[in-house]
Amino acid sequence: MKTSIEPLIPSWHSHVNTTLVPDLGFLMTYALVPRILSLQGEMRWDDPKLPRRDIVVSQPHSAYHWGNAKRAFVEIEREYLQDYASLRQMGIAMFFWEKRIVQNDDELSELLGDDECYTKSLPGAMIRCSRLPSSGTPMCAQICGHHLLIQPGGFPISKADEGVGELEWPGLQEGVSKQNYRKYRPTDFVYVDDRVLGEYEGRSDYSIMPEHGSVDYRGQWSVSYCDRFGRDVIRLEVKKLYEGNPPSVIRHWHSYAVAPPTRYERGPSQHAEHWSKSASTG
């Protein structure tokens, strides 16, 4: 069977410079958006749909200077690697090669004996030691091999909508999922503690309406059709919560679910009071 190998992190050298970059096909698959940190020289790639930051973090340039080299690297979140491996039906492996030249090493001399070269195969690696034909009899030791990191399997990103599962909401007779939420009516409500809004406070990407408890993310998704009951409870139309919102958002709001209040007394929440004071004094 023919084996195909493609670089996930292409690299190239020019004199003392080394460049490492994430594969463009991988970046385009998830429509990742770059964010350059000029002071640190790093590039970070975000997934704005969720939103989710730092999916890929890279320091693309390394320069060697008199025995010192600036570190270059590419780091990718494992969930995205697993998803990409499954989409491509290819495993993700790490290949390595290390070489050292030394002068008259006793252990290498004993290992080589009268031979000029010694090799040994290990699972996923090969070791090679040899004498170099030059004055001073320098010796070379090197190892090369590979290690399988991820095999095709699940789709934690591409099929994340299917991964919400069935969530139990207090006050509803049965669990709600992406498969059955459409059967609920506009009068079917769920309730959450308004501390759920703390996730979005102080972040310019989000627009919060504290008087209703709704949140909008750049027009890409929103938790709306909300109103308040009591000081610290937000009421939601369960059907609207599941329509168009990412699974991570649904799970976040579900984590603050509370039982339906026994008394429906409207009133300002602590968050609303705080934002009202901030608006009046700002």
- What are the sequence ranges of the domains in the chain? 1-76, 91-149, 160-281
Per-residue pLDDT at 40: 63
Higher pLDDT, 25 or 267: 25
Per-residue pLDDT at 4: 83
Average pLDDT over residues 126-149: 87
The residue among 267, 229, 242 whose CA lies nearest residue 182 is 242
> What whole-number distance in Å separates Cα of residue 121 and Cα of residue 125?
6
Per-residue pLDDT at 263: 58
Per-residue pLDDT at 163: 66
> What whole-number distance in Å separates Cα of residue 161 and Cα of residue 172?
21
- pTM given for the model: 0.67
Question: What are 189-236's pLDDT values in tens digits?
Answer: 999 999 999 999 988 889 999 899 999 998 888 999 999 987 799 999
CA distances from 128 to 107, 117, 124, 131, 132 (A): 14, 7, 14, 11, 12
Per-residue pLDDT at 71: 87
Per-residue pLDDT at 268: 46
> What whole-number distance in Å separates Cα of residue 128 and Cα of residue 140?
8
pLDDT band at 9 (very low <50, low <70, confident <90, very high): very high
Q: Assess whether pLDDT exceeds 60 at residue 247.
A: yes
> What whole-number distance in Å separates Cα of residue 71 and Cα of residue 229?
54
Report DSSP letters for 141-179, one per residue.
EEEEEEEEEE-S---TTTTGGGGS--B--TT-SS-B-TT
The residue among 105, 174, 170, 165 whose CA lies nearest residue 141 is 105
pLDDT band at 136 (very low <50, low <70, confident <90, very high): low
% of the chain surpassing 70 pLDDT: 89
Determine contact, residues 80/30, Cβ cutoff 8 Å.
yes
178-202 b/e (C-beta count within 10 Å ≥ 16 → b): beebeebeeebbbbbbbebbeebee
% of the chain surpassing 90 pLDDT: 57
Per-residue pLDDT at 279: 40
Average pLDDT, the chain: 86
Per-residue pLDDT at 50: 75
> 198 phi and psi, to 5 degrees?
-60, -25
pLDDT band at 270 (very low <50, low <70, confident <90, very high): very low
Supply 162's token pair: 């299917």
Average pLDDT over residues 163-188: 90
Higher pLDDT, 98 or 164: 98
Query: In sequence order, what are the beta bridge partners of 228?
Result: 234
pLDDT band at 68 (very low <50, low <70, confident <90, very high): confident
Per-residue pLDDT at 162: 67
Q: Assess whether pLDDT exceeds 50 at residue 55.
A: yes
Per-residue pLDDT at 269: 45
Residue type, 28: M
Question: What are 24-43's pLDDT values in tens digits?
Answer: 999 999 999 998 886 667 89
Average pLDDT over residues 126-155: 88
Q: Assess whether pLDDT exceeds 70 at residue 135.
A: no
